[in-house]
A and B are shown apart, each in its own frame.
Chain A
Amino acid sequence: MAAKTLTIDGRLVSAQSEQTVLDAAREAGISIPTLCHLEGVSEVGACRMCLVEITGCPKLEPACVTRVVEGMDVRTGSDRLHEYRRMIVELLFAERNHVCAVCVANNHCELQDLAADLGIDHVRYDYLFPLLPVDISHERFGIDHNRCVLCTRCVRVCDEIEGAHTWDVAGRGGNARVITDLNQPWGTAQSCTSCGKCVQACPTGAIFRQGSTVGEMERDRSQLEFIVTARKKKQWIV
């Protein structure tokens, strides 16, 4: 694997040719906000939080799906980027009903953290306030579509790590929803192994453990990474 040298925020950084700009930046200790990105599963470039500016490139590029190129000159933070990121997060808040104060994930939520980091104290767009269902038919877990940001992290962990592919996405645009099996109540989804990986993966309070009350949903994402690393390195095979 050939090494590439690029510049990120004025710093010379070296990376392997397979790496993404996001990986290279994080390895160099430069943080880029993300939402749909999850260590251990494939990238989809869906949320656009990780957009960066690349010299010579007329449009913004998502760092999580852009491979490093020799001599690349990347900027991860500018007023323009900040404004776009802010807009994305505000739109997510306006799209569904994220009421942090009564949410199971309060204080343990990536969406909330992003809003705080971006200094969002109000939303400029009209709230849509859709009346979305909550499915708590599963014995141990539940999903509140009101809090889903459609990052598809649940879909990917379920498919790529667990291999069950219980989760998927149905509908388009504003009608898009994550579904279990062929849009059946989660409790009746036969493919679900109740492994709980989606519970660890979800960045917001959308997927939760049954019985959770305000602020109780803490997640341990390192479990997912642990499984992926162990599998890749065949740590379980002696």
Chain B
Amino acid sequence: MMTQTIVIDPVTRVEGHAKITIHLDDSGQVKDARFHVTEFRGFERFCEGRPLWEMPGLTSRICGICPVSHLLASAKAGDAILAVGIPPAAEKLRRLMNLAQMLQSHALSFFHLSAPDLLLGMESDPAKRNIFALIAAEPELVRSGIRLRQFGQEIIEQLGGKKIHPSWAVPGGVRSALSGAGRDSILARIPEAQATVLHALDRFKRLLSHVKGEAQVFGNFTSLFLGLVGANGNWEHYGGHIRIADGAGNIIADHLDPSQYREFIGEAVEPWSYLKFPYYRPLGYPDGMYRVGPLARLNICTRMGTPLAGSELREFREQGNGAVNSSFYYHYARLIEMLASVEGIERLLDDPDLRSRSESEEEPLLRAHAGINQLSGVGVSEAPRGTLFHEYHVDENGLVKSVNLIIATGQNNLAMNRTIAQIARHYVRSPRITEGMLNRVEAGIRAFDPCLSCSTHAGGMMSLHVILLDSAGRVLDERRRG
């Protein structure tokens, strides 16, 4: 069969170097799309031979965008190998940091990266569709969004002492507590943070009625959703168990032990991507495709567990039938998670455990000390972008023998391809590349907020390279911009 291929390269404002190919069949219809991840940092390899205790510090460098997520999953894998229960204050402090990370990461995704598309319109001039143009158009919204992100970063800094790459969580607990002054300064900023999220939610919901049509073709398909939920089915980000729901909102698996993930998650490889393609084993590959991240977490949980986010969830669910399937609603889910994070942070700050002291000492007990008691361990937590698995095998002294990581972007890989294919199918009308199609493909990927370990390009021109190829590999159309 004759096929044509459109290549979009690189995707801007996505955190990494990636290439997109859109494959047309001989009638010019979109057959398939692929988001190629050609960047590979080989982290799993160079952790081998290192002491277990270095793993949180090492793996938190996997990604400059979500160091905290790797830090926590790694520390949890370490806890499992030490076979210790960590002090309650340590667990709550880790939770606090994860919520702060969720907040700052989602704020970056929404306000810096996606708001220009959402609020300025996809058809607008790309040179004028960036954070700077948005600042000119909506200075208050942008300013409050920037402050919200900075608020999350401040909490991380209060805890870890350093904005990026904190090596604060360690196997067995955490290294330091939250100071009284730190707690007070976080508490003081809660009302503003909450107002910012509520305002953004309100803006987004008003926008929804205008973009409903768009949302219909924006990665709107049924798939499984996977993530952690708490013991009572509540929205969860740090502990709990794995739940899997289908595209109609039915829970198809529940109470799965995250440390036994190999029993229910398989990992396929494709020659055209360095990312692995995880799938739900019972359904096989690629039918076992599932989505993780904000949309998945909101689809699988029974309730949010906090009042404001709880009522937003009920409203959110009206967008779907059982489950909300359009990937466009990742943005919406992200906003609700920001609200849950702010509420959760406030709740944690009031928790007496955070201030629990041991009998003789000033600081609460924070760190369990132990040697190597298990030769392998799995740590699972919810990163802003989705469920993150770290699995380590060590020798009896604690030297790492092998590492397996399953990251959110890998798990969303198949869904991203389907999203791109769907968008392209809708907007590709001829063997020419239109601005509107490009913008939407890019925005479609951005809905997943993929992290590919490179830096964000929050502002400036998009630099796109688009090539349209026919089945023989001949270039039909080629466009560069930026």
Contacts and interface: CB of A to CB of B under 8 A. Distances in A.
Contacts of B61: 101-102
8 contacts: A101-B165, A102-B58, A134-B49, A136-B399, A210-B53, A213-B167, A213-B170, A214-B57
B79 to A, nearest CB: 13
B398 A214 contact: no
B165 A134 contact: no
B51 A134 contact: yes
B57 A102 contact: yes
Contact of A136 (B167, B369, B397): B397
Given A131-B49, A134-B399, A136-B399, A211 B57 contact: no
B175 interface: yes
A136 B51 contact: yes
Nearest to A215: B167
A45 interface: no
Interface string B37-60: 000000000000111011011100
Interface in B8-58: 49-51, 53-54, 56-58
Contact of B54 (A133, A137, A187, A214): A214
Interface string A91-121: 0000000000110100000000000000000
A203 interface: no
Contacts of B49: 131, 133-134
Given A133-B49, A211-B369, A102 B54 contact: yes
Nearest to B59: A102
B397 A211 contact: no
A96 to B, nearest CB: 14
Interface string A118-134: 00000000000001011
Contacts of B167: 102, 213-215
Interface of A: 101-102, 104, 131, 133-134, 136-137, 142, 144, 187, 210-216
Interface of B: 49-51, 53-54, 56-58, 61, 165, 167, 170, 175, 369, 397-399
A133 B58 CA distance: 17
Given A134-B49, A136-B51, A213 B399 contact: no
Nearest to B369: A211
Nearest to A144: B51
Contacts of A214: 54, 57, 167
Contacts of B58: 102
Name the residue in A102, A212, A215, A216 with the highest tally of chain B Cβ atoms < 10 Å from its Cβ: A102
Contact of A213 (B56, B369, B397): B56
A179 B29 CA distance: 67
Contacts of A212: 53
B71 to A, nearest CB: 10
B115 to A, nearest CB: 32
A76 to B, nearest CB: 36
B53 A213 contact: yes
A163 B312 CA distance: 70
Contacts of B51: 134, 136, 142, 144, 210
Contacts of A102: 54, 57-58, 61, 167
A187 B49 CA distance: 17
A102 B61 CA distance: 9
Contacts of A104: 54
Contacts of A187: 397
A134 B52 CA distance: 11
B50 A134 contact: yes
Given A102-B58, A136-B399, A213 B175 contact: yes
Closest 3 CB pairs of A and B: A214-B167, A214-B57, A136-B397
A168 to B, nearest CB: 22
B398 A213 contact: no
Name the residue in A104, A133, A136, A142 with the highest tally of chain B Cβ atoms < 10 Å from its Cβ: A136
A56 to B, nearest CB: 50
Given A136-B399, A214-B54, 12 more contacts: A102-B54, A102-B57, A102-B58, A102-B61, A131-B49, A134-B49, A134-B50, A134-B51, A134-B399, A136-B398, A144-B51, A213-B53
A212 B57 CA distance: 11
Given A102-B61, A211-B369, A214-B167, A137 B397 contact: yes
Contacts of B54: 102, 104, 213-214
Contacts of A134: 49-51, 399
A31 to B, nearest CB: 30
Contacts of A137: 397
Contacts of B165: 101
Contacts of B399: 134, 136
Contacts of A210: 51, 53, 398
A173 to B, nearest CB: 23
B86 to A, nearest CB: 14
Contacts of A216: 175
Contacts of A136: 51, 397-399
A223 B371 CA distance: 27
Contacts of A131: 49
A102 B67 CA distance: 13
Nearest to A129: B46
Contacts of B53: 210-213
Name the residue in B49, B53, B167 with the highest tally of chain A Cβ atoms < 10 Å from its Cβ: B53
Nearest to A211: B53
Nearest to A131: B49
Nearest to A216: B175
A128 to B, nearest CB: 15
Nearest to B78: A213
Name the residue in B57, B58, B165, B175 with the highest tally of chain A Cβ atoms < 10 Å from its Cβ: B57
Contacts of B397: 136-137, 187
Nearest to A104: B54
A210 B51 CA distance: 9
A189 to B, nearest CB: 14
B118 to A, nearest CB: 36
A142 to B, nearest CB: 6
Contacts of A142: 51
A131 B399 CA distance: 14
A210 B165 CA distance: 22
A34 to B, nearest CB: 28
Nearest to A212: B53
Contacts of A133: 49
Given A134-B399, A136-B397, A213 B57 contact: yes
A133 B395 CA distance: 13
Nearest to A185: B397
A97 to B, nearest CB: 9
